[in-house]
Amino acid sequence: MGFSKEIFAANLRAARAALRMSQKELADAVGVSKNAIVEYESDTGYTPGADKIIALSNALKKSPNELMGWKEV
């Protein structure tokens, strides 16, 4: 299955909101700037690398597949 920036951005925003976490709090947990989180959550913004996707997953208590919108088999 391919990558959809739109799905990733929406899933990232939803997971962060579900934890009532600010963009700054998530940025601090992942080790990036708040501006990077803004970009990640924008469906036209920058896409994080695999290392940051893992860090985001850990901080948001979601699997990488959940954030990417991929079904686990």
Domain ranges of the chain: 5-62
Instruction: Count CB atoms within 10 A of the CB of residue 26.
Output: 23
To the question of pTM greater than 0.75 for the whole model, the response is yes
Instruction: Count CB atoms within 10 A of the CB of residue 62.
Output: 19
CATH T-level fold of 5-62: 434 Repressor (Amino-terminal Domain) (1.10.260)
Closest C-alpha among 65, 1, 2, 12 to residue 38: 12
Tokens standing for 3? 């990558």
Contacts of 8 (CB under 8 A, 6+ apart): 40, 47, 67, 68, 69
What are the tens digits of pLDDT across the range 7-56? 999 999 999 999 999 999 999 999 999 999 999 999 777 889 999 999 99
**Alpha-carbon span 56 to 8, nearest angstrom:** 11
